[in-house]
Structure 1
Amino acid sequence: MQNSSPALLITGVSTGVGLAAARAFLSRGYRVFGSVRTAADADRLRAELGPHFEPLLFDVTDADAIARAVTEVETQLAGAPLRGLINNAGVAFGGPLQHQPIEVVRQHFEVNVLGLVQVTQAFLPLLGAQADFRGQPGRVLNIGSVSGQVATPFMGAYVGTKHALEGLTASWRRELQLFGVPMVLIGLGVTKTPIWDKGINLEPYRATPYLGPAERFAKVVNRTRESGLSPEYVAGRLVQIMETPRPKVRYTIVPDYTRNLLTWLLPARALDRLIARGLGLRPAK
């Protein structure tokens, strides 16, 4: 790797948007560090993506592994700054919150919120958030969701983490003005990625009144996913956002902006009724 190439870190690069983003930035001449959770994925991606890609073996919930990754990146940078951090790693498991096991709810927050905070805290000094930093600060892109602004039923734990990310990003962005490190939130719409492969496991809910509505929701998810954004398109937008001189504080990347705009503008109760009618979320008569 050549130290003159700009370097950035992307979490969760084994598949989906993370992998597409790694490819897109590599094609632009970047050095890309990417987090994976297994040695097999590390070997596969090292062979597939070439010498300018360096896999980092860590889970975003593992503080010790993250610390080792920071040391490895710092050593390889040899005094050069980190150009960017893209917080992409995340999980999503569907189910009615009334019955979803608390350990599954907790996992969402451990990965999507606390894991993101832990990684960002660890790498911020390499991005320029330190008193003696010299040079051009890097920037942070947090992959959020349109669900951070518009909640859907049967995805409550996931939605909760994306709502949390809206607030965390806004507060952190204002704090990081001290160092000139931009933090940008990406409001991502439905994307064709493996995060939805597991869908909604309906088995635990078959004896509950939520089964029918949950089945209808699962069909909606599968249908909308087919018309979702490609990871490659999202990756291209991430490159643009990383390279724009003055990034906006938030970008909405969705397949159909007009449809999303109508959803955002509807009064909450009207949207409640619309969703209830569509999914059958009404009391039995």
Structure 2
Amino acid sequence: MSKVVIVTGASSGIGKAIATLLNAEGCKVYGTSRNPSTLTSSPFEMIALDVLDTETIEHTIRFILDKEGRIDVLVNNAGMGITGSLEETPNFEMRRAFDTNFFGAIDMMKAVLPQMRAQKSGTIINITSIAGYMGLPFRGVYCATKAALEIITEAIRMEIKSFGIDVVNIAPGDVATNIVAGRYHTPVFEDSAYKEVYEANLDLINADVTTGIDPSRIAKKVHQIIHKKNPKIHYKVGGFMEKFSIVLKRILPDYLFEKLLRNHYKI
């Protein structure tokens, strides 16, 4: 029996790669985005869903259950990027980032859990980021949203393990997607105390994205996970130095790891 899969944020980037591969491998895939009507074609069914709007979430779950009678996999991929100094980034933009990246994923999990508990099976995959393992300058809010989702993944995994449901985290490094276009950038203010260093770091951050890994690598990892009998809780997908940075943070004194980051970001 083919797995019934929901992939949020499936109109582009990582989400589209995941949904496309799983569809090609025989899964019944339902992708979601806020404006699916803007897509000219898709090999899988797209549904309008905004993770900030619980009504659209509930409507989507009812729609899929009416058609399929089950939900086997949820891939929480929808999210937003945000950059800027903590001092100059508007609080409402920080809250919007948490509402999207953290609470949006929680609302999706709450929506599918009753059905997964009833069928005594299911897999939830939360897409976080290697950036969630450390605080990066001018990306602190983004790092915090992904770190929060990573920690909640650890907690909820234990809460629902006895129901036959697996909860997994995939932390990608930089991925070659169009995230820069959709990211909220705090403006570079001419009179800002951070102007020169922030401007230089924006160029560095954007360059890292354009040279990132192909999103198909994340898709392949998702495909492997949903067919594992006992998947691990943490998976990291990225370049060697990105994954090694997590090891360095664990073993180096704090001041030394901070020095490495400051040298990298030239601050």
TM-score of the two chains, using structure 2 as the length reference: 0.92
Question: Following the alignment from structure 1 to structure 2, what is the Cα–Cα distance between the partners of residues 186 and 69?
Answer: 24
Corresponding residue for residue 10 of structure 2: 13
How far apart are the structure 2 equivalents of 1:104 and 1:204? Answer: 16
Deviates more, 1:173-182 or 1:216-225: 216-225
CA 75–124 in structure 1, closer or farther in 2 if over 3 Å, else same: same
Q: Is 2:229 the counterpart of 1:229? A: no
- Which letter does structure 1 place at the counterpart of 2:34? R
Among candidates 203, 211, 217, match of residue 219 of structure 1: 203
Q: How many residues end up aligned between the 2 structures?
A: 265
Could you tell me whether the CA contact under 8 Å between 2:36 and 2:46 is conserved in 1? no
1: distance between equivalents of 2:194 and 2:185? 12
Q: 1:276 aligns with which of 258, 262, 267?
A: 262
8 Å CA contact retained: 1:202, 1:214 = no
> Which segment drifts farther, 269-278 or 230-239?
269-278
Runs of 4+ in 1 over 6 A off after TM superposition: none
Q: Give the aligned partner of residue 89 of structure 1.
A: 78
1:35-71 CA-to-partner distances (Å, cap 9, x unmatched) read: 1111423x53xx331xxx2212110010111111111
- For 1:269 and 1:198, how far apart are their aligned partners in 2? 34
**Partner residue of 2:163 out of 176, 179, 182:** 179
Counterpart-to-counterpart distance in 2, 1:210 and 1:110: 27
Aligned to 1:122: 111
Q: Mark the structure with the bigger radius of gyration.
A: 1
Percent of counterpart pairs with the same letter?
27
Q: Is the 8 A contact 2:88 2:186 kept in 1?
A: no
Aligned residue for 2:29, secondary structure, equals strand
State the secondary structure of the residue aligned to 1:151: coil
Q: Which of 246, 252, 259 is the matching residue for 1:266? A: 252
In 1: Cα distance, 2:57 partner to 2:182 partner: 27
| One-letter code aligned to 2:8 | T
Query: Partner of 1:191: helix, strand, or coil?
Result: coil
Out of 170, 178, 184, which is 1:194 matched to? 178
Give the structure 2 partner of residue 67 of structure 1: 58
How far did residue 226 of structure 1 move? Answer: 3.0
CA 1:278/1:17 → structure 2, altered by over 3 Å: closer, same or farther? Answer: closer
Give the CA deviation at 1:261.
4.5
1:200 CA displacement: 6.9
Deviation digits for residues 166-215 of structure 1 (CA, Å, limit 9, x no counterpart): 21101100001120201001111110111123567463433212112212
SS in 2 for 1:230: coil
Q: Give the equivalent residue in structure 2 for 1:22.
A: 19
Consecutive unaligned residues in structure 1, runs of 5 or more: none
